[in-house]
Amino acid sequence: MCAIVRYQLCLFVVEQVVAELSESLTPASLVFDAQGVPFSAAYGDIYRPNANPLAQAHHVFLRGNGLPGRWQGKTSFTVCETGFGLGHNFLALWQAWREDPDRCARLHVVSFEAHPFSPDDMARYVQGAFAGETLARGLELARAWPVPLPGVHRLEFEQGALTLTVLFGPVERMARQASARADAFFLDGFSPRVNPAMWSPALFSQLVRLATPGATAATWCTAGHVRRALQDSGFLVQREPGYGPKRHMTTARLRDGLGQSIALCSGALSVAVVGAGIASAGIVHALVRRGHQVTVVDPVLGQGLGGTHKGHRAVAVSPQFNKTDDIKARLSRAGVLRSAQVWQQLAPGARPRVCGTLYPARTVQDVTLHQAALKKLALPVAWVCWLDPLQARARVGVDVPYGGVWFPFGQQVFPEPLLAAVFGAAGVTCLPVRVAALQPGAAHGWSLLAEDGRVLAQADRVILANALGAGRLLETVHNAANFPRLANATPLAGEVYDYPAYPASPPAAIIAGNGYWLPAVNGYPLVGSTYRRHGEPAPLTQAGRDEVFDKVRALVPASSTWLAPAGAPSGAVSGWSGWRASVPDRLPVIGPVSGLPGLWVAAAYASRGFTWSALAGDLLAADWFHEPLPLERELMNRLAVR
């Protein structure tokens, strides 16, 4: 085969993979049939029976799975639902869990939905359908309901004791991407006649992959081919009395010998996190919220809890944008959405500001390319949209001659107070010392050693969240050659600069591209940043400031007249310099270290530390405590320590 043909074949394969990964959603619309029942025009079927949908949920799905009895006294229980719809089953489950004094400590729900409603439609529906406590919970669900974006979305209720993980996309694909340990299944898709994918042997085989031993299933459907498919997949099936006009329903239990056994963590863990920077913050926050004791070890803590970013006024958390919606864009989307949820729980001052991000077009050709990409991706305007020059000016307060791509979820993060809030929380102990080596041990799991061999701390589990230092510490207990991603990590030094906000106003939102311009903090807008490979952070210099100012002028030509005011002294340079660790593919390294139980790595976040941080905390917690994974399996595999 000639080189040109091989190249064209590879290009075709890549395009096909990208086409699958960037598949857009078709959201549902809230419409009703002649009887006032919500109806799907796409499938020609109703979302609920005419009778009380919550009563049906209790009879078919809860009672059919032996609930609430089966969750009583347990640390954790997981339900998997094959069609979320308008949330009737989730609301019934939530009600039953709240009313049960012997309920499990944590209840997890995993649900698939190919055609999600918008948050506004969810709110409109529950306002007309429910009253009292159910209405209150329904409105809470609607407020938390995500923008209809492809992928995995995690929602939390009851201070995190109840989680809902929804996977938006075709069930035949998203079931392969799900990772959970399900104790019960609610099989509640549209009728097999109009939506056969929800009742297929392929789907049921994926449910068996997710199941724990003894898992149960229930459905209102009694079609013969559905019952046979369940049996062939490994379930013991029986018919029981149905609800309302349906005489029968189907219940099932997984055959003995099938399902994945798990040993749930009992009691609080002691955890040591090496590193007190951005990567550490998301993990510490996730563990403390789950009641675990965490020790953070880093000599920079001697400069304060926010010492790694002392004097760093602000950073931007902005989604990546490209026309193929590739792996990086999808991971960026997951990280930005999760950070918007997690960090907004912090107190004012530490809480990021959701101000939006504009990626300006720089030429007429950019306008055509960006608009074509937005049309192809067909992502909801609540996530990303095009702004013409007038609209852009209204959003950011600066003239943008060609308009640009607007992300409302862009966030301005204040690193020092955020880190101080996380590391100053109850349950966190901070040690301003340097770890020189790790030592596994039977009694305490892991010991952290000083240069002279002294034990600095002991913990059940350890996370290396110390950038380039992660690889060096890993070498003290493992052959680093087995982990080429970390072995190839390099430092990226960088500087950001601030300046007085005169004579004109700074931007009201983040302006980003090759460089960025942030809104003012205490009267000082920020511009950034430089990227210098293979070296320690450069000191702040006039040359560095000129470099980043040039980047911003290229992004926003209108800034040229005031970005470096003529009256500013040439030597008045202020800002912050630091460094990041990066691996060749520019994706973070997050996951367990094979062969060393209880040791994890969370490093190489490059210039997107606060994008990945909160998501990484959830990924670790999901793995340790057998929670549903808040990310597609194929994306998680790309982050692996290898």
pLDDT tens for each residue of 215-227: 999 999 999 999 9
Mean pLDDT of 130-159: 96
User: Are 179 and 629 in contact, with CB atoms under 8 Å apart?
Assistant: yes
User: What is the DSSP track for 209-222?
Assistant: HHEEEEEEEEES--
Q: Which pLDDT does position 501 carry in this prediction?
A: 65
Is-contact 304 311, C-beta < 8 A?
no
505: confidence class by pLDDT, cuts 50, 70, 90: confident
Q: Residue 440: which H helix or E strand, with range? A: strand 437-441
Are the C-beta atoms of residues 47 and 56 closer than 8 Å to each other? Answer: no
| 165 Cβ neighbours under 8 A, 6+ residues apart | 108, 109, 110, 111, 152, 153, 154, 155, 180, 628, 629, 630
For residues 406 and 385, the answer to whether their CB atoms sit within 8 Å is yes
- Read off φ and ψ for residue 249, nearest 5 degrees: -140, 170
Q: Which two tokens stand for residue 427?
A: 């349950």
Q: What is the pLDDT of residue 265?
A: 66
Within 10 angstroms of residue 464's Cβ, the number of other Cβ atoms is: 28
Please report the pLDDT score of residue 491 as a whole number: 87
Q: How many CB atoms lie within 10 A of CB 511?
A: 31
Instruction: With CA atoms as reference, report the closest residue to 272 among 456, 24, 38, 521.
Output: 456
Inform me whether the pLDDT recorded for 577 exceeds 90.
no
Q: How many CB atoms lie within 10 A of CB 106?
A: 20
pLDDT band at 159 (very low <50, low <70, confident <90, very high): very high
Mean pLDDT of 289-312: 95
How big is the CA angle at 464 (ends 460 and 469), to the nearest 5 degrees? Answer: 140
pLDDT(165) > 70 = yes
Residue 24: predicted pLDDT: 78
What is each CA distance from 212 to 108, 182, 319, 626, in whole angstroms? 14, 6, 36, 11
How far is residue 433's CA from residue 422's CA, in Å, rounded to a whole number? 19
Which pair of tokens denotes residue 25?
A: 């959603």
Candidates 581, 579, 623; CA nearest to 600 is 623
What region does 403 belong to: left with phi over 0, alpha with psi -120 to 50, or beta? left
Ramachandran region, residue 406 (left: φ > 0; alpha: ψ -120 to 50; beta: rest) = beta
Closest to 342 (Cα-Cα) out of 7, 130, 630, 24:
630
Query: Tens digits of per-residue pLDDT, 440-483?
Result: 986 668 999 999 999 999 999 999 999 989 999 999 998 877 88
Report, as an integer, the average pLDDT of 269-289.
Answer: 96
* Sign, CA torsion 397/400/403/405: negative
pLDDT of the residue at 607: 86
CA 289 to CA 292: how far, in whole Å? 8
Higher pLDDT, 119 or 535: 119
Mean pLDDT to the nearest integer, 90-101: 98
Portion of the chain with pLDDT greater than 70, in percent: 92
What residues contact residue 515 under an 8 Å CB cut-off, 6+ apart? 527, 528, 529, 548, 551, 552, 554, 555
Give the pLDDT confidence score for residue 544 in this predicted structure: 83
Q: Which strands form 411-413's sheet, in the order they lie side by side?
A: 315-317, 411-413, 353-354
User: What does DSSP say about strands 437-441 and 445-449: parallel, antiparallel, or unpaired?
Assistant: antiparallel
pLDDT above 70 (res 138): yes
What is the spatial distance between Cα 26 and Cα 609, in angstroms, rounded to a whole number? 32
Any idea what DSSP says for residue 159? G
Residue at token pair 């606060």? 610
Q: Which of 47-61, 340-354, 436-450 has the highest mean pLDDT?
A: 340-354
With 60 as the cut, is the pLDDT of residue 8 above it? no
- Predicted pLDDT at 245: 83
CATH of domain 24-254: 3.40.50.150
Residue 623: closest CA among 213, 254, 161, 286: 286
Residue 565 has pLDDT above 70, yes or no: no
* pLDDT band at residue 367 under the 50/70/90 scheme: very high
Query: In whole angstroms, what is the distance from residue 329 CA to residue 21 CA?
Result: 11
Tokens 């159910």 found at: 134
At 323 the pLDDT is 83
Q: Mean pLDDT of all residues in the chain? A: 90
| Separation CA 246–CA 244 (nearest Å) | 6
Determine the 3-state secondary structure of 302 from DSSP.
helix
Rounded to two decimals, the pTM is 0.91
Q: Helices 224-233 and 201-210 meet at what angle, rounded to 10?
A: 40
Cβ atoms of 526 and 552 closer than 8 Å = no
**pLDDT on residue 48:** 85
Specify the pLDDT at position 18.
38
Tracing tokens 């790595």 back to the chain, one arrives at 601
Paired with 431 in beta bridges are 297
What is the Cα–Cα distance from 608 to 619, expressed in whole angstroms? 17
CA distance 106 to 124: 29
Architecture of domain 270-309+416-489+584-638: 3-Layer(bba) Sandwich (3.50)
pLDDT band with cut points at 50, 70 and 90 for residue 566: very low
Show me where the domains of the chain are located.
24-254, 270-309+416-489+584-638
What does the block give as tokens for 120?
């506004």
In this structure, what DSSP letter does residue 61 have?
I
592 alpha carbon, distance to own chain's centre: 18
Q: Cα–Cα distance between 542 and 91 in angstroms, integer?
A: 59
Confidence of residue 394 (pLDDT cuts 50, 70, 90): very high
What are 77's strand-pairing partners?
107
**Which residue carries 């970005």 as its tokens?**
563
d(CA 620, CA 77) in angstroms, rounded, equals: 18
What's the rounded mean pLDDT across residues 578-602? 91
261 pLDDT band (50/70/90 cuts)? Answer: confident
Interatomic CA distance for residues 550 and 547, integer angstroms: 5
For residues 552 and 362, the answer to whether their CB atoms sit within 8 Å is: no
Residue 278 near residue 414 (C-beta atoms within 8 A): no
Query: CA dist 38 to 47, 48, 85, 134, 551, Å?
Result: 6, 7, 10, 18, 52
Of the chain, the end-to-end C-alpha distance in Å amounts to: 33
Q: How far apart are CA 87 and CA 603, in angstroms?
A: 37
User: What pLDDT is recorded for position 14?
Assistant: 35
